[in-house]
């Protein structure tokens, strides 16, 4: 019986290591927090129960999408996630020249990369950016954006 109890300890010791490995999809990449976030245009608002999301990008990207052109390299698209009136987190898509080649073909979303940021604007590596890529892949015809049509409809007032 003592032998059985002692055999449990190595298994319990390994358990935290399993939990640490649980977030294996979190990764750093080239996505940066936009230094000029205050200058970005708030083009859409999405409400999901108690969550309010503001979508932001630059005017150059808005003009390109409205003209049927791809957003240029250097474009940031930012989703600001508010809960109880406070910033809960930021989700940032950033497009860079040839950034798609950083990933295997099955994971590419054009030249867009994705990152989650904490309210203090530091990278949140606990979030799964591979999951973001897998969802956004379905939007290839819309610049890999779920808010593509909101940009097209934007007329100076955030689309809701």
The sign of the torsion formed by the CA atoms of 122, 57, 94, 50 equals positive
Over residues 87-91, the mean pLDDT reads 97
Kindly report which listed range (21-35, 116-130, 140-154) carries the lowest average pLDDT score: 21-35
Give the pLDDT of residue 16: 43
Domain 30-153's class? Answer: alpha beta
**Is-contact 31 113, C-beta < 8 A?**
yes
Q: What is the tens place of the pLDDT at every residue in 92-107?
A: 999 999 998 898 888 8
Encode 57-87: b = buried (16+ Cβ within 10 Å), e = exposed.
Answer: bbeebbebbeeeeebeeebbbbbbbbeeeee
Sheet containing 86-95: order of strands: 41-48, 51-57, 76-83, 86-95, 112-117
Q: Cα separation of 100 and 137, whole Å?
A: 12
Give the pLDDT of residue 45: 98
Give the pLDDT of residue 131: 79
Over residues 64-85, the mean pLDDT reads 97
Where residue 5 falls (left for φ over 0; alpha for ψ -120 to 50; beta otherwise) is alpha
Give the pLDDT of residue 28: 78
Statement: residue 27 has pLDDT above 60? yes
Is the pLDDT higher at 2 or at 134?
A: 134
Q: Cα separation of 77 and 62, whole Å?
A: 10
Give the pLDDT of residue 1: 52
Give the pLDDT of residue 26: 61
DSSP 99-156: GGGGS-GGG-BTBEEEEEE-TTS-B-TTS-HHHHHHHHGGGGGGTT-TTHHHHHH-SS
Statement: residue 51 has pLDDT above 70? yes
């Amino acid at each position: 019986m003592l032998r059985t109890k002692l055999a449990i300890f190595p298994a319990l010791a390994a358990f935290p290591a399993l939990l640490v490995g649980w977030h294996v999809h979190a990764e750093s990449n080239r996505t940066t927090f936009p230094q000029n976030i205050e200058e970005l245009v708030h083009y859409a608002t999405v409400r999901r129960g108690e969550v309010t999301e503001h979508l932001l990008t630059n005017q150059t990207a808005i003009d390109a999408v409205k003209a049927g052109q791809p957003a240029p390299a250097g474009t940031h698209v930012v989703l600001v996630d508010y809960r109880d009136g406070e910033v809960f987190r930021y989700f940032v898509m950033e497009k860079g020249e040839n950034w798609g080649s950083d990933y295997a073909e099955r994971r590419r979303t054009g030249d867009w990369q994705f990152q989650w940021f904490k309210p203090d604007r530091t990278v949140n590596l606990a979030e799964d950016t591979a999951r973001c890529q897998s969802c956004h892949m379905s939007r290839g015809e819309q610049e890999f954006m779920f808010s593509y049509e909101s940009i097209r409809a934007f007329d100076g007032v955030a689309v809701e």
